[in-house]
Amino acid sequence: MNRLAILSVVTSTLFLLGILELVRRRRLREEYSILWLFGSVIILVLSVKQSWLNWISTLVGISYPPSFLFLVGMFFIFMILIHFSIVISKLMRMNKRLIQEIALLKSSLPPEEPPQNRKEQ
Amino acid sequence: MQSSTPGSSPDIRVLVVIPAYCEERNIGSVVRSIRNLFHHDILVVNDGSTDNTGEAARKAGAITLDLPCNLGIGGAVQTAYMYAIAHGYDAIVRLDADGQHEPADIERLLEPLRDGTADAVIGSRFLGEATYRASFFRMTGIRFFRVLVNLFTGCKFTDPTSGFFAINRHLMQFYSAQYPSDYPEVDSYILMHRLKIRAVEVPVRMYEREKGKSSITPIRAIYYMVKVTLSFLINRIGRIE
């Protein structure tokens, strides 16, 4: 194993453990960890099994195999960012509904105490 | 055609809707000028203003909805549709809080709704006597959207950015589920077209705003053009709920 491969194995292992720990402590919801876990597992496997990395790189026409790892990393980062955009859009839609419902609810409540009452206290 | 006095042909319950963001200096006089002419209920949607817009509207005698955060014009008007449906109104007239729409023309917008000849009536500043004068840049924007809207709907609308319009309950019901959030006017043409809504234009008077600054700056104008064109095209192909 060359130095680059060792670095790659160590970082992706630490990353994987970090994500798992965040999920275990409930700091990260499972649904948001899936893409992170998948990405780091694939990078880890390809770093350990260099023959697989070489084979797949030749297959897609990449002459320098480790750059395929970057490709995998980029792909998952894009997927995760798109996922976030979808989640933010959904949150905005839900947030809008909540703001509207609050305004409608407030209007159906009796008016607040008139300010004169405060002077009497 | 002065007011909705009992006895006038098919009596419908009308809610006049005014979305307002930081318009404490204009809102009172706009509400009062409508109350002087008509008996319709007036609803001011205070879109998270940082000034006393809500208080000023209440003092002038309007029903007021206070949104806890600023939603943008579309979200604010949509809240009014939800209110109107919950309280059984048959029609909504929407106008601006800055006094640029002539309140006396409200009845012109309502006429086709009363007759049942249209579901949506849009007030155009370019029909009839057409006293309105716009700057070159504003006119260019309006012309651009006119071409866009007429190209995709196959109709001849003259004032696609008009925020002075009336719609009936049928369209309100749809809009309360789905309404563009930022700049709803142009987008709504494509939605109406796809829903086979009968939309007509009538001439109305519009003026320059009374007090305070317009929200339009060059950068925002460009953002507006791009955003509206994009969402217009997306609404053309997007899913309707």
Residue A121's pLDDT is 43
Asked if B67 lies within 8 A of A100 by C-beta distance, the reply is: yes
- Give chain A's radius of gyration (CA, Å): 26
- Above 70 in pLDDT, residue B56? yes
Looking at chain A, list the stretches that DSSP marks H as alpha helix, in order from N- to C-terminal side.
Answer: 3-24, 30-48, 50-60, 66-108, 116-120
Given a cut of 50, is residue B6 above it in pLDDT?
Answer: no
Predicted pLDDT of residue B216: 66
Q: Which of A81-90, B50-59, B80-89, B220-229 has the lowest mean pLDDT?
A: B220-229
Residue A99, min C-alpha distance to chain B (Å): 6
Query: Residue B114 phi/psi, 5° resolution?
Result: -60, -45
Q: Are B123 and B201 in contact (CB under 8 A)?
A: yes
Residue contacts between A and B (CB atoms, under 8 Å): 34
pLDDT of residue B130: 66
pLDDT higher than threshold 80 for residue A7: yes
Instruction: Using the predicted structure, report yes or no on whether residue A3 has a pLDDT greater than 90.
Output: no
Judged against a pLDDT cut of 80, whether residue A118 lies above it is answered with: no
Residues from chain A contacting residue B71 (CB–CB below 8 Å): 96, 99-100
> What are the tens digits of pLDDT across the range B146-184?
999 999 988 899 999 899 999 999 999 999 999 988 778
Domain ranges of chain A: 3-107
A104 vs B contacts (CB less than 8 Å): 65, 79, 82-83, 86
Residue of B nearest to A100 (CA): B79
User: Mind listing the pLDDT tens digit for each residue in B73-116?
Assistant: 999 999 999 999 999 999 999 999 999 999 999 999 999 999 99
pLDDT digits (tens, 9 = 90+) for B110-153: 999 999 999 999 999 988 776 677 778 788 888 999 999 999 98
pLDDT greater at residue B18 or residue B135: B18
The confidence score (pLDDT) of residue A52 equals 93
CA distance B190 to chain A (A): 21
Partners of B181 on chain A (C-beta within 8 Å) are: 96
B-chain residues within 8 Å CB-CB of A102?
67-68
Gap between the Cα atoms of B7 and B212, Å rounded: 40
B193-to-A101, B154, B202 alpha-carbon distances in Å: 29, 9, 18
User: DSSP string spanning A51-70?
Assistant: HHHHHHHHHHT-SSTHHHHH
Q: Is the dihedral of CA A66, A70, A75, A79 positive or negative?
A: positive
On whether the CB atoms of residues B40 and B16 are closer than 8 A, the answer is: yes
**What local confidence, expressed as pLDDT, does residue B223 receive?**
86
Q: What is the residue whose two structure tokens read 């204009």?
A: B26
What pLDDT does B183 receive? 79
Q: Which B positions 26-45 lie with beta carbon below 8 A of chain A?
A: 45
pLDDT higher than threshold 90 for residue B3: no
Does position B231 have pLDDT exceeding 50, yes or no? yes
Quote the mean pLDDT of chain B. 88
Q: Is the pLDDT of residue B213 over 70?
A: no
Instruction: Return the HEC string of B129-169.
Output: CCCCCCCHHHHHHHHHHHHHHHHHHCCCCCCCCCCCEEEEH
Greatest alpha-carbon pair distance for chain B in Å reads: 50
Could you tell me the two tokens for B215? 């929200």
Cβ distance of A107 and B83 shorter than 8 Å? yes
Nearest to A11 by CA among A69, A80, A77: A69
Q: What is the model's pTM? A: 0.83
CA gap B82, B91 in Å, rounded:
12
| Coil, strand or helix at B101 | strand
Sheet order of strands, B91-94 included: B63-67, B41-47, B14-20, B91-94, B165-168, B120-124, B199-203
Buried b (16+ CB within 10 A) or exposed e, A28-46: beeeeeebbbebbebbbeb
**pLDDT beyond 90 at A76:** yes
Place of tokens 């700056």: B217
pLDDT of residue A18: 95
Hey, of A96, A97, A101, A109, which one would you mutate to test binding to chain B, going by the most B CBs within 10 A of its CB?
A96
**Closest Cβ opposite residue A103 in set B66, B86, B181:** B66
What pLDDT, on a 0 to 100 scale, did the predictor assign at position B7? 43
Q: Which of B69, B175, B182 is most worth mutating to test chain A (most A CB atoms within 10 A of its CB)?
A: B69
Residue B214: band (very low, low, confident or very high) from pLDDT cuts 50, 70, 90: low
Strand, helix or coil for residue B231: helix
pLDDT band of residue B2 (cuts 50, 70, 90) is: very low
Share of chain B above pLDDT 70, in %: 91
Q: In whole angstroms, what is the distance from residue B180 CA to residue B188 CA?
A: 8
Note the ipTM here: 0.85
Which one of B69, B83, B181 has the shortest CB-CB distance to A104? B83
Judge whether residue B207 has pLDDT over 90.
Answer: no
Average pLDDT over residues A74-83: 94
